[in-house]
Amino acid sequence: MTATFLYVSLLCGSTSLCVYYFLPATWQLPLPPGPKPKFLSGNVHQLPRSQAWKVFKQWSETFNSPITFHRIFGRKFIVLNTLKAANDLLESRSNIYSDRPMACMYKELVNRGMAVFNVSSQHPRFKVYRRLLNTSLNPRAVERYDGILYDERLILLRGLATEPEAFTRHLRRVSGGVILKVAYGWTVNDIDDYFVDLMEQSFALSVEIMKPGRWLVDVFPILRFVPSWFPGAGFKRDAAVWREQMSELDRKPHAWAKEQIESGNYIDSFTSQHMRPEDGHEIDAEEEDIIKWCSAALYTGGADTTVSALSSFVLFMALHPDIQHRAQAEIDEVVGKNRLPTSADQVCLPYVSAVLKEVLRVAPVARLGLPHRVLREDEYLGYRIPRGSTVIANIWGITHDASLYPEPMTFNPDRFLATSDGPAQLDSSKIVFGYGRRICPGAHLAEVSMFLNVAGILATFNISKALDERGKEVEPLVEYTDGITSHPKPFKCCILPRSHENLAMLEIP
């Protein structure tokens, strides 16, 4: 008995020593702090159904750690709640933090794995996508789109002048109009445009498909091999329908653009530039597929995010008339009342630019960004980062970090202006467009587009709170939707021309 006990003790001890010396050193480190999980399901019961960004920030404060850990069954999640943590990992170690987590339902069953924002950083196309998009969306290249941006802005302002109560629809039209013309050369002529509606439907569908924890197949990927006729395999039948619906998003606009190019009657666009390369070589099927996915990335990545930012701008101007009037005074002084601001005016309109930066800080459009995946075991601040973990940058938490932005809940554009009392606070655009090799490739185009629309609206209209039937102001609620892109929930406001002189700039037919 004693000999057996001694043998077992020696065996266990030897095994422990082998584990200690031969497994990676990070395995000896503790995981980052986080709420206590259950044995099987992990922290599923503690995950919020809404406003996860606020809960993650609370966890960071509760555990006094810039990074936190939680688990959903076997999937591990690391949340980065400070700018330093996000930069240290997603920027400085981007070689191992630029992958995307596996999502069987969306990427495999619905067939969105090759989309620009979903493709693995290890796939050969990842670098090709980045090179193609950076070539066409760098600051110099974006200057080619000024005419499109000015034309679409004029249509927006005319729409607000004639039908101000439908301001959200006008914002969606201008966002879709810019992106569709830049990506495909498609002109949006109606507020209910077919491709804009197609884009809206795909956004809504994506939100439903990508809800965290909704699909068991994401937790247990082996379920993807279950036949669609099998009892309980309704998710596969749903996926087959959604795959066809989602494919229309990239297939139909590209097919239309290709048809126009072949006819010789087309508007210059991202698609035409790459389908008709300067060196005149014949585009093969692989190249065309790459162009198709990159155009779709412009289409899906640029429209919904711009709508969110512009909607937040309208909401905050209704809530802060003093800030609005100060921005309008700057435009009147620099630009005058006889023309609309241009992109060249931006450098002379620091307060208007600060308003936009503050909108993006207070209401970042992608509050948790897009998730990253770490490729190998890592260590940070003495904590173990397990290989394959999903890494989330809590962008909302970072833009509401009081050490970066004092009084973070206060809407204050002055924080972005240097004064004799101190330097300007960190430009929010350095935070809200993502990190490392996954930074938004269309960030510059988005910033230029948003500035022109914001400056144009300020130059032409006054935005105020809506009035009830007794003429009393109605306080709009500042509430936001969940999802990858967060929007203000529907609110009412009053949008009126500042003067006949300002309205004359629109040359309304």
Give the tens place of pLDDT for each residue, 376-422. Answer: 999 999 999 999 999 999 999 999 999 999 999 999 999 999 887 88
| Token pair 């037919």: residue | 509
Cα distances from 488 to residues 58, 115, 156, 313, 483, in angstroms, run 22, 27, 19, 10, 12
**Residue set of the binding site:** 440
**Residue set of the binding site for heme:** 440
CA distance 89 to 379: 10
The residue among 88 and 277 whose pLDDT is bigger is 88
Count of CB atoms situated within 10 Å of the CB of 331: 23
Q: What is the rounded average pLDDT of the residues 161-169?
A: 94
Count of CB atoms situated within 10 Å of the CB of 319: 18
The mean predicted confidence, pLDDT, of the chain is 89
The residue among 457 and 224 whose pLDDT is bigger is 457
Cα distances from 174 to residues 159, 285, 464, 503, in angstroms, run 10, 32, 21, 19
* pTM for the full predicted model: 0.90
SS3 314: helix
- Weakest mean pLDDT among 46-50, 176-180, 275-279, 340-344: 275-279
- Domains identified in the chain and CATH numbers: 23-506 (1.10.630.10)
What's residue 219's pLDDT?
Answer: 80
Per-residue exposure over 106-145, b if at least 16 CB sit within 10 Å of its own CB, e if not: bbbbbbbbbbbbbbbbeeebbebbbebbeebbeeeebeeb
Q: What is the rounded average pLDDT of the residues 431-438?
A: 93
pLDDT exceeds 50 at position 290: yes
Give the tens place of pLDDT for each residue, 103-123. Answer: 888 888 888 889 999 999 999
Give the tens place of pLDDT for each residue, 217-251. Answer: 888 888 888 888 888 888 889 889 988 988 888 88
Q: What is the rounded average pLDDT of the residues 491-507?
A: 87
